[in-house]
């Protein structure tokens, strides 16, 4: 008589996932059964949900420090510090985005629990991606994240742009997923396994037969197409400006923070753990993606007139910077992974802060996102304008902000791997991108008012969004002046 063998489960390790999943389901059910909640309570409930999640994640971080990383559920999930750091970042991003969404939904008359449930659902997908130790599990996480994002992008029911954005993202995202899945199939063919760490061992031998080699290379290429699409790296970036512009602004901030975090975490794990021994094959590809992204992102950002599009293109250029760290990791440089992680975490906060300000300035209808909408913000809302100044200066890489630390860390990793060319190209591109940040600042502080400006709706700063902006700006400056703890944390989180 044969019995089904169940894998033993390390329950503590998946507690963060359970808290978020359970919390989301309970919130949805209770909200469906009760009358509409008071203003802001859906967002608050989501933010509160994050607190125990982060606490458990910190406990796990400590446990890994003592007992080492574990691989759970039949090797499907790998609970190491790399995964936990990304989990913590994702959880905090969920809380921040939820708070910034609260009054937005009220203003747009869309309030309800669904948006928050979708945030949490997407975050779960992202967390699974960050810790997946099996390509199939990784794909499941990717789809969970993506499908939630497709719905979120289209969630502004009265804006055609939002619908368009959701549909575009869905169609193109479906394409990318297909590429990704095909890549998995070919890699399975080349290695005989879908497990990421087993794949790493399979490729450790070095010599593969000719046919397997072709299969491996094709698999890596297709996998990279899928991942590069998700991280919005050029030349797979064409969806980004349209989707970022059309999606409700807080959702855009969610895509740019959590979406990038999860996709880059997956990319790093696949490339470093599964294909680490094949770095010579994928590193040149990453090099090209990085250079293309920083240059195309920066140059096209400058010629935009819509702030959401500008930030979308600038996010492409930031993705290029993160790819520089990945490229350094391809040289076997542990600092490459650490610098990418550091960049992701710092950029996540920056982008949430920036888009929160954009959402406020967009005013009712979420349509006022031209750069002219920022005109006179310095007089009308000096503190909000000051916070936005901090965010854009940080994105430009000015010292004393977290943006400088982020850029410095990837440039250092690149120089350490003797990838000087890519470092120089990236720094020059960042000067080009500075034009766009200067344009936002000029409109906020220096532009003269134009006719019609007086009759515009005033920019209101509700408490919850104000808190997010203030926290974001404070963190940006704090991490710019005292980055030591974060640098050490990302170094501890390096994949081995």
Partner 1 sequence: MSILASGTHGGLAFPVLTALVLVPLIGAVLTAVSSNRRPEYTKLIALVSSVITGGFGLWMLASFETGDAGFQFVSKHQWIESWGIGWHLGVDGISLFLVVLTGVLFPLVIIGCDPHHDEKPYLAWLLLLEAGVMGSFLSLDLVLFFLFFEIVLVPMYFLIGGWGYDQRIYAATKFFLYTMVGSALMLVGIVTTALLARNDIGRLTFDLVEIAEQGNFAASTGRWLFFAFAIAFAVKVPLFPLHTWLPDAHTQAPTAGSVILAGVLLKLGTYGLLRFGVYLFPEAAVWSRSLFLTLAVIGIIWGAIAATMQTDLKRLVAYSSVAHLGFIVLGTFAFTREAIGGGVMQMINHGVSTGALFLLVGMIYERRHTRQIAELRGLQKVAPIFAAAFTVVMLSSIGVPGLNGFVGEFLVLIGSFSTARWWVVIGATGVILAALYLLWAYQRVFHGEPDEANSTFRELRLREGMVLLPFIGLIVFCGVYPKPMLDRIDPSVKSLLERVEEKSGFVAPDMVHVETHEGEG
Can residue 442 be called a binding residue for partner 1 (CB under 8 A)?
Answer: yes
* Residue 236 and residue 225 in contact, taking contact as beta carbons nearer than 8 Å: yes
* Binding test (CB under 8 A) with partner 1, winner from 198, 299, 400, 467: 400
Opening angle at CA 481, ends 478 and 483, nearest 5: 80
Interaction of residue 331 with partner 1, rule CB under 8 A: no
**Residue 470 sits in the site that holds partner 1 (CB under 8 A):** no
d(CA 355, CA 308): 8
Report whether 60 contacts 16 (CB < 8 A): yes
Q: Is 428 in the site for partner 1 (CB under 8 A)?
A: yes
- Asked if 9 is part of the footprint of partner 1 (rule: CB under 8 A), the reply reads no
Would you count residue 408 as binding partner 1 (CB under 8 A)?
yes
8 Å CB contact between 71 and 78: yes
Out of 191, 240, 430, 464, the residue judged to bind partner 1 by CB under 8 A:
430
Computed from CA positions of residues 184, 187, 193, 198, in that sequence, does the dihedral angle turn out positive or negative?
Answer: negative
- How many C-beta neighbours within 10 Å does residue 99 have? 26
Q: Can you tell me which of 28, 279, 299, 427 binds partner 1, judged by CB under 8 A? A: 427
Taking the least distance from each CB to partner 1, the nearer of 220 and 447 is 447
x/- map, 74-113, partner 1, by CB under 8 A: ----------------------------------------
Structure tokens, 360:
């406020």
In the bound complex, what is the minimum distance in angstroms from residue 382's beta carbon to partner 1? 8
Helix pair angle (160-191, 210-231), 10° resolution: 160
How far apart, in whole angstroms, are the C-alpha atoms of residue 483 and residue 346?
10
Chain centroid offset of residue 212 CA = 34
Cα separation of 267 and 412, whole Å?
21
Q: How far is the CB of 438 from partner 1 (least distance, A)?
A: 6
Interface with partner 1, residue 420, by CB under 8 A: yes
Q: Shortest gap between Cβ of 233 and partner 1 (angstroms)?
A: 21
Residue from 411, 436, 471, 495 touching partner 1 (CB under 8 A): that is: 411
488 sits near partner 1 (criterion: CB under 8 A):
yes
Asked if 118 contacts 154 with a C-beta cutoff of 8 angstroms, the reply is: no
Work out how close the CB of 415 gets to partner 1 at its nearest, in angstroms, rounded to a whole number: 5
State the number of CA atoms in the 13 A half-sphere of 283 facing the CB: 19
Nearer to partner 1, 27 or 443 (CB): 443
The string of DSSP codes covering 400-457 is: TSHHHHHHHHHHHHHHHTT-HHHHHHHHHHHHHHHHHHHHHHIIIIIPPP-TTSTTSP
- By beta-carbon proximity to partner 1, the closer residue of 316 and 434 is 434
Residue selected from 416, 462, 474, 477 as contacting partner 1 according to rule CB under 8 A: 416
Interface with partner 1 (CB under 8 A), residue from 73, 218, 415, 467: 415
Give yes or no for residue 483 binding partner 1 (CB under 8 A). Answer: yes
**How far is it, in rounded angstroms, from Cα 323 to Cα 233?**
8
Answer yes or no whether residue 423 interacts with partner 1 by CB under 8 A. Answer: yes
192, 284, 449, 484: which one binds partner 1 (CB under 8 A)? 484
Which of residues 233 and 422 has its CB atom nearest to partner 1 in the complex?
Answer: 422
Q: Which stretch binds partner 1 (CB under 8 A): 81-89, 154-162, 254-262, 401-409?
A: 401-409
| Phi and psi at residue 283, to the nearest 5° | -60, -45
Q: How far is the C-alpha of 68 from the C-alpha of 185, rounded, in Å?
A: 31
Smallest separation (angstroms) from partner 1 to the CB of 183: 34
Summarize as ranges the residues that interact with partner 1 (CB under 8 A): 393, 398-400, 404, 407-408, 411-412, 415-416, 420, 423-424, 427-428, 430-431, 434-435, 438, 442, 445-446, 483-484, 487-488, 491
């Amino acid at each position: 008589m044969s019995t089904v063998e169940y894998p033993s489960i390390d329950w503590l390790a998946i507690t963060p996932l359970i808290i978020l999943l359970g919390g989301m389901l309970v919130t949805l059910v209770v909200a469906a059964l009760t009358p509409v909640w008071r203003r802001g309570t859906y967002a608050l409930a989501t933010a509160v949900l994050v607190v125990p999640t982060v606490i458990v994640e910190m406990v796990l971080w400590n446990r890994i420090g003592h007992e080492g990383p574990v691989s759970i559920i039949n090797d499907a999930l790998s609970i190491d510090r790399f995964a936990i750091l990304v989990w913590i970042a994702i959880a905090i991003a969920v809380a921040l985005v939820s708070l910034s969404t609260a009054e937005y939904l009220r203003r747009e008359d869309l309030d309800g629990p669904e948006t928050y449930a979708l945030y949490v659902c997407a975050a779960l997908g992202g967390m699974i991606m960050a810790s997946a130790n099996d390509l199939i599990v990784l794909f499941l996480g990717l789809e969970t994240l993506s499908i939630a994002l497709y719905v979120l992008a289209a969630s502004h029911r009265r804006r055609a742009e939002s619908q368009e954005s959701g549909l575009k993202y869905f169609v193109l995202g479906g394409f990318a997923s297909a590429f990704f899945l095909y890549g998995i199939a070919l890699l399975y063919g080349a290695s005989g396994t879908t497990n990421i760490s087993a794949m790493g061992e399979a490729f450790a031998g070095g010599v593969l037969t000719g046919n397997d080699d072709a299969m491996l290379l094709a698999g890596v290429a297709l996998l990279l197409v899928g991942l590069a699409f998700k991280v919005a790296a050029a030349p797979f970036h064409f969806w980004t400006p349209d989707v970022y512009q059309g999606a409700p602004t807080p959702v855009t901030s969610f895509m740019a923070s959590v979406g990038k975090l999860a996709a880059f975490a997956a990319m790093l794990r696949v490339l470093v753990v599964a294909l680490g021994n094949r770095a010579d094959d994928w590193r040149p590809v990453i090099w090209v993606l990085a250079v293309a992204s920083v240059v195309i992102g920066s140059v096209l950002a400058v010629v935009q007139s819509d702030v959401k599009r500008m930030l979308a293109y600038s996010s492409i250029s930031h993705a290029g910077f993160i790819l520089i760290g990945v490229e350094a990791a391809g040289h076997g440089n542990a600092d490459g992974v650490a610098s990418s992680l550091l960049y992701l975490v710092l950029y996540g906060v920056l982008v949430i802060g920036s888009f929160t300000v954009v959402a406020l300035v967009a005013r009712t209808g979420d349509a006022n996102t031209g750069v002219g909408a920022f005109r006179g913000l310095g007089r009308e809302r000096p503190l909000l304008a000051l916070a936005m100044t901090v965010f854009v200066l940080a994105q430009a890489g000015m010292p004393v902000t977290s943006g400088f630390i982020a850029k410095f860390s990837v440039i250092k990793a690149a120089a350490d791997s003797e990838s000087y060319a890519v470092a120089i190209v990236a720094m020059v591109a960042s000067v080009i991108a500075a034009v766009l940040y200067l344009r936002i600042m000029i409109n906020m502080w220096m532009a003269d008012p134009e006719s019609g400006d007086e009759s515009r709706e005033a920019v209101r700063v509700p408490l919850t969004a104000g808190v997010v902006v203030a926290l974001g700006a404070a963190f940006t400056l704090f991490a710019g002046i005292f980055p030591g703890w974060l640098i050490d944390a990302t170094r501890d989180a390096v994949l081995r």
